[in-house]
Amino acid sequence: MTERYFTDNEKARLPQMCLNLWHSVKDLAIGGEAAKIRRVITECAKEGNYRRDRYGINPVIRHLETATALCQSVSPDRNMVIAILLYGLCQKEFLNIEQIAKEWDEDIAKLVRGLLKVSALYQKRPSVESDNFRNLLLTFAEDIRVIIIMIVDRLALMRAINHHPNEKFVRDVAYESSYLYAPLAHRLGLYAIKSELEDMSLKYTMRDTYTSIAHKLNETKLHRDAYIADFIKPIKEKLQSLGLKFDIKGRTKSIYSIWNKMKKQHNDIDQIYDLFAIRVILDSPFEREKNDCWLVYSVITDMYQPNPSRMKDWLSIPKSNGYESLHITVNGPESKWVEVQIRTRRMDEIAEKGLAAHWKYKGIKSENNLDAWMNNVRDILEAAESGPMELMKNFRMDVYDKEVFVFTPKGDLYKLPLGASVLDFAFNIHSRIGCQCTGARVNGKNQKINYKLQSGDTVEIITNSSQTPKQDWLNFVVTSKARNKIKQTIKEQGNKLAELGKELLTRRFKNRKIDIEEAKLMKLIKKMGFKTVTDFFSQISSEQLDINDIIDRYAALDQKGAESQTEQRSAEEFVAQPQEDSQPQTDVLVIGDNVKGLNYRMARCCNPIYGDPVFGFVSAEGVIKIHRTDCPNASNIRDKYPYRIITTKWSGRIGEQFGATLRVVGHDDIGIVTNITSIINKEKSTSLRSISIDSHDGLFQGFLVVGVADTVSLNNLIKKIKTVKGVKDVQRSK
């Protein structure tokens, strides 16, 4: 390894650090692999790949300190230690995951992969203030051991930056440690690490406050030690007389904990009554643990007056992270309140080393996802015979497997349910953005609105002001916010259509000099099979219903008994008697047994033209409606009213034009609509009756109503429109 790679101070510390680590891992059967690891690290450094980071931190020193701290703070397995030492080599691309799996172990490769994924997460620079960041961190870590390594690595980093010259870097690391890593350590039962992280965070962010509290604690240390000795003495004598085996020790609470109490109670340190705590640790067999703890409780509360409101029983109901202990606060000598923690050696091991400690009990189920998952971990560890870490190798961190966490381009983090789409994300940001969403750029690639998001995706929503919610959006959105807003907007659109349809119908009734009776109209709407008035008026507005047909039906309601008489007559009986008062019809259709001159109309639902296969349907008011055989309503008509159907075929032509609707889709190029209309105008016996164009995202969709003589003319027109540059598709609309 190059001499210039280490400072003089680091070179002086390095031998002792290696020796400390070697002693720490001697029981982990690393053996000859230590030399192999040293060799690859040396090679990487010689090639100049293993450089200091941008803040001047030496990665070799940091990883050695992390590995040593892991052995001292937790009970790791050998693979965790090796993964720490190899992780930096993969990060510098000196080794890859495949090499580690081949030369060392697949499990070590899995740990390194998890560390690399979390490292990649940091490259996105998300906001750590969000709880979602902590959840995403857990999702990205494939193995709980990865989280433990990260926490210990943060501990080693915090120890190393005490007098780092970059104050902003120190404050950022300290704040993140306090907000993210200390709570994670607490959840995992790593209380010693949690306290040290909190103390150092306070020291780096509020050094004057930290120093002030530390000085006051030092000033009162002699008096505090003497007080603890006086408090312990009678308890110790009594417990010894009962034949219990135990240790009693007093400890001052962490500086962070004291500062927190000062802040909450708005007091100075002199007014904080429980600056220290007494811990009684019993050497009791598992079956007698609770009985012995309660016996000690009885002894202490007989000597000192307890405060019932501050009693915490984590014997009967352990904490979600496995912590077991009995905490009481008693009024000791000089009327000072003293906290006493009563636990067994096994419980103390759990409190000191968290998840990696051996325990043989079950906790209670918590409503919190993470707490419930921790209970599951305890159940797994209960069966561990070869060490808990061995069992946890195959334990996947899927605590948040029902959620996805995605970023905005600015690094803001959002939580969504599993299966959420781009559209769900758009509505989650803002309802207006959701309504106008046309797609997104996900990790730099264009995706459709129904693309399912994955944790870690960076999503940039694309909108268009002409976009509006569609009914089919409800088929793939999963969030209630998106579904509710889509339904609300579609309903509002329907109401607008209904208002327009009502206005059209009212105007037409007025032109026919017919007064509308509300009850009579409601009867007709119900008879036509509509569930709501809105649907009825909306179909009028969208021309799915013929207003003249509705007026005729309305008028027919006054003819009592007409409906029942029509229902009893077959189609053949009806057409055998042509109506003399009907509108004169050209002999274009032959209906029934070659009967001509009948009162018929072309159905608006399918708009048949000369040449289409058709059939006749006798309506309630006695008019024959001509439908295409492939009409959307054909199957319903055949099933419900087979006796009203009458055979129909086309007869001779007389030059009459029929209306047909064409749906045209294409690129929104300049002049494309002009080219289409020009083709229509050049066609003989063909006319353009109306045109409607909707354009967005560089595409247009148009509906053209044309007058044509027959299906041959229509098909020829469609072929010619398809040849126009920019037209993607032309279809006849039913």
Name 485's Cβ contacts closer than 8 Å, sequence gap at least 6: 427, 431, 434, 435, 469
Reduce the DSSP state of residue 87 to 3 states and report it: helix
- Return the CATH fold of 658-733: Alpha-Beta Plaits (3.30.70)
Q: Give the pLDDT score at 296.
A: 93
Superfamily of domain 3-205: Hypothetical protein af1432 (1.10.3210.10)
DSSP state of 637: H
Reduce the DSSP state of residue 646 to 3 states and report it: strand
Residue 167 identity (one-letter amino acid): E
Confidence of residue 140 (pLDDT cuts 50, 70, 90): low
Confidence of residue 577 (pLDDT cuts 50, 70, 90): very low
Confidence of residue 564 (pLDDT cuts 50, 70, 90): very low
Name 236's Cβ contacts closer than 8 Å, sequence gap at least 6: 248
Phi and psi, residue 300, nearest 5°:
-70, -40
Reduce the DSSP state of residue 691 to 3 states and report it: strand
Reduce the DSSP state of residue 572 to 3 states and report it: helix
Residue pair 415/132 in contact (Cβ under 8 Å)? The answer is yes
Q: What is the CATH number of domain 216-364+371-390?
A: 3.30.460.10
What is the pTM assigned to this prediction?
0.55
As a whole number of angstroms, the distance between CA 734 and CA 606 comes to 5
Q: Which CATH number fits domain 403-478: 3.30.360.10, 3.90.180.10, 3.10.20.30, 1.20.1250.20?
A: 3.10.20.30
pLDDT tens readout for residues 494-517: 788 788 888 888 888 887 777 777
Q: What is the mean pLDDT of residues 258-263?
A: 80
As a whole number of angstroms, the distance between CA 352 and CA 359 comes to 13
Look at 421-425, 431-435, 556-560, 719-723 and tell me which has the smallest mean pLDDT.
556-560
As a whole number of angstroms, the distance between CA 80 and CA 130 comes to 29
Strands 437-442 and 459-463: antiparallel
Q: What is the mean pLDDT of residues 596-619?
A: 80
Residue reference for tokens 């189609």: 571
Domain map (residue ranges) of the chain: 3-205, 216-364+371-390, 403-478, 483-558, 568-654, 658-733
Residue pair 239/299 in contact (Cβ under 8 Å)? The answer is yes
Is the pLDDT score of 19 beyond 50?
Answer: yes
Sheet with 687-696, edge to edge strand ranges? 687-696, 699-708, 658-667, 727-733
Q: Give the pLDDT score at 602.
A: 83
- 469, exposed or middle or buried, with CB in 10 Å at 0-12, 13-18, 19+? buried
Task: Pick the closest to residue 276 from 352, 348, 314, 329 (CA basis).
Answer: 329
Distance of CA 162 to the CA centre of its chain: 38
